[in-house]
Amino acid sequence: MKYIFAIIGSVVVAVSLVALGFNIRQVDQERATLTTNLEQRASLLADSLKESVEPYYANSIQSSFQASLQKVVNKFANRERLAGIALYDNKGILLATSSGLPKAIIENTKIVAEAMDSNTSNNDFFDTEGEDRYVHVDPLHNDESIVGALMVVQNAGYINARIGEIWRGNLLRLLIQVIIFSITIFIILRFFVFRQVIRFVESVKKIRMGEGKESFKDEGKYSFFTPLAKEITHITKSLSQARLSAQEEARMRLEKLDSPWTSERLSEFIKATLKERPIFVVSNREPYEHYTNSKGEVSYRVPAGGIVTAIEPVMVACKGTWIAWGSGNADKTVVDKDNKIKVPPHEPKYTLKRVWLSDEEVTGYYNGFSNEAMYPLCLMAHTRPLFRKENWQEYKKVNGIFAKNVLAEIRDVQNPLVLIQDYHLALLPQIIKKSRPDAQIGIFWHVPWPSPEAFSVCPWRKEILQGMLGADIVGFHIQQFCNNFINTVGKEMESRCDLEQFSVTYQNHTSHIKSFPIGIAFTGGNDDVTFDPNVSKNLLEKLGIHTKHIGLGVDRLDYTKGLLERFKALEFFFDTYPTYKNNFTFLQIASPSRESVPKYKQFNADVTKEVERINTKFKTKNWQPIVLLKEYHSHEELDPLFKIANVCMVTSLHDGMNLVAKEYIAARDKEDGVLILSQFAGAVRDLKGALIINPYSAEETSEAINTALNMALLEQQRRMKKMRESIKNYNIYRWSAEFIKAVTSLS
């Protein structure tokens, strides 16, 4: 709609400017015509008066001379548009005048003197007492000598009145024309042009997504877009053939275990495995948040976090339903009556169903039990978990709310496939299994699983384990976490643990414990054709980074990511290798996370304080060692940063996997760059080409930075090539296929 108003506004401005130009020309012509007519009338009147008054000047010695002149003046003074007459002698002395003439005019002897001196008529416009008057002066003669002057004063106000009428009339006509033009243009654009454009775009979009027909058979439907529709018909036929070829190739790849997994191959795998059965993914975090921006418009963003990064490509390929907490402040304004919306916004592929939680539920379930109890319990980062009964009650309540929503979605689905994500919903598998024993359920734990001794501090450990054992598959990133989990179950539950099959049988239900190292949507392609180096240069210029070497960290503001330890290592590095001052800058992207949790608020402040301390210690006039950006960055914004960073640091104190490490590798199309990776991140099992460090050792991390900055290009490429091959072979599509296959293969 704003484009329609923009077009109407442009037309109105153009028409108004043209009309204004013509109006100014008309006004100038009218003013010139009226002025000429006024001058002619004044000249004719003066000529006739001169014949009447000049004879009196011949007898100026008579005592009745001035009285005679006054009679003549009075005789002519009341004519239409004539303001008055005045007569002067040859010395400029006033002899006779009409009543009512302003003194400013009759006492202005300058115009009179100039007329007599030049022996020609003189005229001018005067504004006196708020009225325009035209003054015409002619010299009077007796034989050849000048004996005086005649002044004729006419009212000229009608000229401005006439000009005003023209302006008012033309502006009124312009206003009427603008209204008519605007309404006409609006109707044409809204109902003839834009409606066809929208219809045309929707048709093209459906064709692109494989949902529409291959041609625009009803050409009349698209009016003057018909030529374009014909061309797109040919393009869509080619696109359809290419899509069929890709699907056929994907089907063939299903039989080749060593072929790379792609979105198309996963789609074909889903079709072959599930036979039209839908997939239901359940997580706390939603893939898209809708919010109201500073302009009052509804926009969206992708929340930071590994789960969204990992699961989004799967859902795009599978076209299922994702059930999650609606946390955006505008989420409710964009969903339908069933609290659903098609996503991604630019190209809908699957359905997002939002679950609504009250502030009290969010505080207890999310901020409280999930982030103050479960998260620090699983990630051993020396932060004490806080167990509060009221938070546990909210946690159970919210798991019940999610279960109710899931059960409503799968009510009419036979053997539904439900994939539950992470520690926020540990109780959900058992609740669903009790109501729907036919449901095939997998839960994937995206964080580490602690040792049995560490987990035993949780007061509600048995309830959590019971909830998880309602799933058919319990998945972790690495085998160590699987070992910890099955040992925990063996210690806490009366169950049968089969270490050969790696399964747990509890209350006549068997759960299989398996490792699935999660990946990213990387198939080994090269996207350098779309990379613009100027984007990176402009970004660095904006950030004030001009150094030869650049380091990069991309993390949530989370105490488990080892940010304070990383900064301590950077301080040690600059102390040990002072030659890198002014030559190396570390850019830290720190996305705000769980800002309502006290521990995270304090950590946010600690990070800022530490960066300021180190920068104060080392900075020079045009350089500082650390540039900290505490704001969210999309994948599109991060990609150029990944490409220009010589070194990427991942210093997690404990991490299930850490996908930032894999995203950095995926972005290195030229196979250069160095990854410094914590030994406590799950990704260390896959990325053998990284420099592995203990993040608690500033000396070790500092030495790794020096090694990375001095590593030969051939060595960088050897390592990077090896890691790129690893993340290509075990990407998110393969992870999804193996996880889904594991769940569906169990009876």
d(CA 547, CA 350): 44
pLDDT of amino acid 416: 94
- Which has the minimum average pLDDT: 18-32, 454-468, 652-666? 18-32
d(CA 649, CA 675): 6
pLDDT of amino acid 596: 79
**256-284 pLDDT, tens digit each:** 556 778 888 888 888 888 888 889 999 99
> Which whole number is the average pLDDT over 642-652?
96
pLDDT of amino acid 209: 62
Q: What is the pTM of this model?
A: 0.69
> Which whole number is the average pLDDT over 607-626?
96
Region at 524 (left for phi over 0; alpha for psi -120 to 50; beta for the rest): left
Question: How many beta carbons lie within 10 A of that of residue 616, not counting itself?
Answer: 9
Q: Is the predicted pLDDT of residue 411 greater than 90, yes or no?
A: yes
pLDDT of amino acid 554: 96
> Which whole number is the average pLDDT over 649-676?
95
304-307 LR contacts (CB < 8 Å, sep 24+): 304/556, 304/591, 304/593, 304/632, 305/556, 306/446, 306/518, 306/656, 306/657, 306/658, 306/659, 307/283, 307/421, 307/422, 307/446
- Which has the minimum average pLDDT: 19-23, 283-287, 364-368, 642-646? 19-23
Q: Is the predicted pLDDT of residue 294 greater than 50, yes or no?
A: yes
d(CA 49, CA 85): 10
When the candidates are 3.90.1720.10, 3.40.50.2000, 2.40.30.20, 3.40.190.10, the CATH number that belongs to 264-356+394-520 is: 3.40.50.2000
**692-702 pLDDT, tens digit each:** 999 999 999 99
Choose among 63, 242, 81: nearest CA to 161.
81
**208-250 pLDDT, tens digit each:** 666 655 455 555 555 556 666 666 666 666 666 555 555 555 5
Three-class SS of residue 337? coil
Q: Dihedral of CA 524/526/527/533: which sign?
A: positive
pLDDT of amino acid 536: 72
CA trace torsion 215, 216, 218, 223 (10° rounding): -160
Q: What is the CATH number of domain 2-161?
A: 3.30.450.20
Domain map (residue ranges) of the chain: 2-161, 219-253, 264-356+394-520, 528-730
d(CA 391, CA 578): 50
d(CA 418, CA 411): 12
Average of per-residue pLDDT values in the chain: 87
> Which whole number is the average pLDDT over 409-429?
95
d(CA 541, CA 646): 17
d(CA 126, CA 108): 11
For residue 428, what are the contacts with CB-CB under 8 A and spacing of at least 6? 282, 399, 402, 403, 406, 420, 443, 467, 470
Decide which of 76 and 147 is more confident.
Answer: 147
Q: Is the predicted pLDDT of residue 598 greater than 90, yes or no?
A: no
d(CA 140, CA 172): 49
Residues of the chain above pLDDT 90, percent: 52
666 sits in which H/E element: helix 659-667
d(CA 30, CA 36): 10
Question: How many beta carbons lie within 10 A of that of residue 729, not counting itself?
Answer: 16
Quote the radius of gyration of the chain (alpha carbons, Å): 44
Q: Dihedral of CA 29/32/38/39: which sign?
A: negative
Angle at 629 between CA 702 and CA 284, to 5 degrees: 100
Residue 529 banded pLDDT, cuts 50, 70, 90: very low
Chain CA centroid to CA 362, Å: 27
DSSP string, 405-451: HHHHHTTT-SS-EEEEESGGGTTHHHHHHHH-TT-EEEEE--S----
Q: Which strands, in side-by-side order, build the sheet including 473-476? A: 340-343, 350-355, 321-325, 279-282, 417-421, 440-444, 473-476, 509-515, 503-506, 496-498
Residue 597 banded pLDDT, cuts 50, 70, 90: confident
230, 428, 450, 466 from 489: Cα distances, Å: 65, 18, 12, 9
87 sits in which H/E element: strand 82-89
pLDDT of amino acid 72: 78
Residues found in the chain: 747
Region at 558 (left for phi over 0; alpha for psi -120 to 50; beta for the rest): beta
Question: How many beta carbons lie within 10 A of that of residue 258, not counting itself?
Answer: 6
DSSP string, 216-268: ---GGGGGGGHHHHHHHHHHHHHHHHHHHHHHHHHHHHTT-TTSPP-HHHHHH
Give, as one character, the DSSP assignment of residue 561. G
pLDDT of amino acid 528: 46
d(CA 330, CA 581): 46
Choose among 130, 148, 129, 128: nearest CA to 138.
148
d(CA 18, CA 129): 37
d(CA 283, CA 445): 11
- Which has the minimum average pLDDT: 3-12, 227-236, 477-486, 658-667? 227-236
d(CA 734, CA 313): 11
Residue 747 banded pLDDT, cuts 50, 70, 90: low
CB-CB contact of 506 with 495 (8 Å): yes
pLDDT of amino acid 84: 87
Half-sphere exposure (CA, 13 Å, Cβ side) for 593? Answer: 20
pLDDT of amino acid 189: 76
d(CA 136, CA 125): 9
314, 572, 661 from 727: Cα distances, Å: 16, 32, 10
Residue 346 banded pLDDT, cuts 50, 70, 90: confident
pLDDT of amino acid 127: 85
Question: How many beta carbons lie within 10 A of that of residue 679, not counting itself?
Answer: 13
Superfamily of domain 528-730: Glycogen Phosphorylase B; (3.40.50.2000)
Q: Where are the beta strands (DSSP E) in 98-251?
A: 122-128, 131-142, 145-155
Choose among 501, 493, 306, 324: nearest CA to 420.
324
d(CA 717, CA 721): 6
Question: How many beta carbons lie within 10 A of that of residue 255, not counting itself?
Answer: 7
Q: Is the predicted pLDDT of residue 652 greater than 90, yes or no?
A: yes
Decide which of 565 and 262 is more confident.
Answer: 565
d(CA 120, CA 439): 113
pLDDT of amino acid 324: 97
> Which whole number is the average pLDDT over 648-665?
95
d(CA 282, CA 425): 8
> Which whole number is the average pLDDT over 89-110?
85
Task: Please classify residue 209 by burial: count the beta carbons closer than 10 Å to its beta carbon, then call 0-12 exposed, 13-18 middle and 19+ buried.
Answer: exposed
For residue 266, what are the contacts with CB-CB under 8 A and spacing of at least 6? 314, 317, 318, 733, 736, 737
d(CA 607, CA 605): 5
Residue type (1 letter), 85? I
Q: Identical fold at 264-356+394-520 and 528-730?
A: yes
Q: Is the predicted pLDDT of residue 668 greater than 70, yes or no?
A: yes
Choose among 482, 401, 470, 402: nearest CA to 440.
470
**456-478 pLDDT, tens digit each:** 999 999 999 999 999 999 999 99
Decide which of 296 and 548 is more confident.
Answer: 548
pLDDT of amino acid 505: 96
Decide which of 194 and 29 is more confident.
Answer: 29
